[in-house]
Structure 1
Amino acid sequence: MVASVPSGHVYVRHIAPEDGSGPLRLPDPRPRGVAAASQQWWPPVMLEADWVEQHDFDVFHLHFGFDARTVAELEDLVAALRRRGKPLVLTVHDLRNPHHQDRAAHDAQLDVLVPAADALVTLTPGAAAEIRARWGREALVVPHPHVVPFETMRRTAAMREVRSRGAREREFRVGLHVKSLRAGMHPHPLVPVLVDAVRDLPGAVLQVNGHRDVLEPGGARYDAALAEALRDHAARGEIDLHVHDFLDDDALWAYLSSLDVSVLPYRFGTHSGWMEACRDLGTAVIAPSCGYYADQGPVLSYGHDERGLDAAGLVDAVRAAYSGHVEPGPTVEERRIQRAQVAAAHDALYRSLTGGQQ
């Protein structure tokens, strides 16, 4: 029995076998004071030392959610696991927290968890190398599984096949999504570069999607400079601007599959579930040089990090996507095989830590 934190995240659901076999994962406990009908589960209750002391499980596998905990609380968690003799597995998704402007807090949390873990997992060789350099620990590299449901992948692939038979006069859509701006996102300098790049490509359209809380006055994260710039470009017919609330999964898959290429505007980060969803749906990805996105899967890369933007590299990446110089996304069958392999790797890891008992 595995206490996965959190068990309801799509990544955690998809590292389990498709047929529902494999180790039992405990459901996410409801946070105190939250109604049963609510979808809220954050911050994960399993991260409380008291929860560890009071519940039965064989392995504690931490993925996300510890950014809501202090260093002292994480030390208490580790101590509780030690007292109960429960192995700790940590999947290092983020070596730099994309929500934090300053890296110090996340680094301090990792300095507790990485040395204490009985086993480490990460998604790319590059991240494993950084873990080795920073902490002298070896991490098992297991690739990111699919994000989009297989049936949606199948339908989207069929629709793309039909569209591919059309003439080049169809639109070529370049997407930039600014959603609820994370600290690691910096779309501001990308917008004029993309406008100029797309202007030179016949039939190309630059579509910018953003959440109301960022692009409308009164929003909790309203960015006046970005909103004004996007409205000006839209008024001149240079971008197709879509302002909306949070998209549910079906709307998100429909949106991503309508794009030919999605540009990731990150200036720091590590890995990306958004990128995997794009790949599932056959949408090419233009990813920045920061983090380990190019390690994670086939992308078109451009220079972008906290030091600045390589505008020429971004233009080259857009042109390459337009010219079709991209690797095709994985098929449903390839993702199915990968999911089985990912699940088997986790099962073997758990068994190695529990003497074969789960």
Structure 2
Amino acid sequence: MSGRVPLEQPGGVATTPGIRIAHEGIIDLITVASVPTDHRYVAHLHAGDSRVRRLPDPVPEGADSNDRWWPPRWLEPAWLSDHIDDFDVLHLHFGFDAIPTERLHQVVDLLRRHNKPLVFTAHDLHNPHFRDNTFHLEQLKVLVRGADEVITLTPGAAREIVERWGIEATVIPHPHVAPLGMIGRPRDRRPEFVVGLHAKSLRANLDPIAVLDTIVTAAAGLPDTRVRVDLDSNVFDPGADQRTADLAAIITDYATGHSVDLRIHNRFDDNELWQYLTEIDVSVLPYRFGTHSGWLEACYDLGTAVIAPDCGYFADQKPCRTYGFGLDRFDPTSLTEALRATHAERDSTSAASRSSRQIERQRISAMHEAVYSRTLEHYSTATGRADQAID
């Protein structure tokens, strides 16, 4: 498939593949190879009047369809070289967790040789799947220094990027997560206050055991309060690693002995997740490390309060209370105080409106379009990008 768009306006000038530029200098279409495209975050970067077209995810090697987008073919140098004329900009979000830095260097160098801009959104400055962040930081060093434009979601993350790598990132906020039609709906007022602690699949940055006793003790001192703990059923699979199996057993035993409402189920699909978030009043995030959170955004969409750890930049994203929690630290008092304050102010939880999220989505879309246009303008006025040290 060619990214070139046929010239339709007299006097126009056909330039970079996928772009038509008229005398006014307006870019009519920008074709983006997004890594990935089939992701809720990426889908919500698009607004109806955008001139950006994101290509479908390529079918992974050995697969029959692109129902699963990983491992991403755009990060395979040989495949990328064969399809280099299909797009104008490569925009990397996710999917590079297991890719060696040598291959990332190859991708950056290949794009450079072909004058193809690389845009990189730094979602995670600490990979939530690995306690040891050394390898992830090595990957980020290649990508942040090799990209033509770096985007991140919060001012705090942007400051860290400058401190670590000397690169200024454009801050573009996270778009809505829940469907627009569900945002801003009135919530049912329940007689009880439900504290939710979702342990999901007990990935590396989740430590629900550390906070559970504090939550249960605090809840016992609040009127009409119930603690609900959810676990994905796959944590009990025979093939689960030892850490996961041990944590699942501890949570189950604790819940049985402390009157905790424990729910074990398959991983929620989207509709089940929206329903869950409307069934709890506050979601406590037991993250020992991390950077940003789509879960927090979904809570904001549906009017569920959030108590987030003070590691990462969760409080930069959307309004939430925080408590002291990090790799090797926990302040139980701050969590207790946050629970009490949230209970006392349950009728004034910060929540999104549909109109505000619609306007925000249009602005986010326009900001991405501006980033893409800026990188392409650079290439239209230069023979190639200046050499950058990325070692």
Q: What do residues 170-214 of structure 1 show as CA deviations (whole Å, max 9, x unaligned)?
A: 111110011111211111111111110111111111100011222
Of the candidates 17, 37, 43, which is equivalent to residue 71 of structure 2?
43
Q: Does 1:70 align with 2:124?
A: no
Counterpart pick for 1:24 among 53, 56, 73 = 53
The 5 A counterparts of 1:1-358 are: 1-17=31-47, 19=48, 21-36=50-65, 39-55=67-83, 56-154=86-184, 157-158=185-186, 160=187, 163-164=188-189, 170-214=191-235, 216=236, 218=238, 220-221=240-241, 223-236=244-257, 238-324=259-345, 327-355=349-377
| Deviation (angstroms), 1:330 | 1.1
Give 1:32 shift: 1.4
**1:226 CA drift (Å):** 2.8
Kept in 1: contact 2:183–2:354 (CA 8 A): yes
Residue type of the partner of 2:333? A
Deviation at 1:355, TM superposition (A): 2.3
Q: Are the aligned partners of 1:173 and 1:261 in contact in 2 as well (CA < 8 Å)?
A: yes
Displacement over 3 Å in runs of 4+: 221-225
Q: Secondary structure, in 3 states, of the residue corresponding to 2:120?
A: strand
The amino acid that maps onto 1:210 is: L
For residue 292 of structure 2, give the secondary structure of its aligned residue in structure 1.
coil
- CA distance in 2 between counterparts of 1:20 and 1:257 reads 32
- Please report how far the alpha carbon of residue 73 of structure 1 lies from its aligned counterpart in structure 2 after TM superposition: 0.8
CA contact (8 A) 1:212 1:219 kept: no
Cα deviation for residue 273 of structure 1 reads 0.5
Structure 2 length-normalised TM? 0.85
Q: Whole-Å Cα distance in 2 between the matches of residues 134 and 354 of structure 1?
A: 27
Q: How much has 1:307 moved relative to structure 2?
A: 2.1
Contact preservation (8 Å) 1:269, 1:290? yes
Instruction: Provide the TM-score with structure 1 as the length reference.
Output: 0.92
In the alignment, structure 2 segments of 5+ residues that lack a partner are 1-30, 381-391
Q: Offset at 1:50?
A: 1.9
Partner of 2:16: none
Between the aligned partners of 2:231 and 2:283, the Cα distance in structure 1 is 14
Give the Cα–Cα distance (whole angstroms) in 2 for the partners of residues 42 and 61 of structure 1.
Answer: 15
| Contact in 2 for aligned 1:100/1:184 (Cα 8 Å) | yes
Shift of 1:327: 4.2
Q: Contact 2:183–2:352 (CA<8 Å) still a contact in 1?
A: no
Task: Number of aligned residue pairs: give it.
Answer: 346
The aligned amino acid for 2:274 is W
Aligned residues of 1:289 and 1:303 also touching (Cα < 8 A): yes
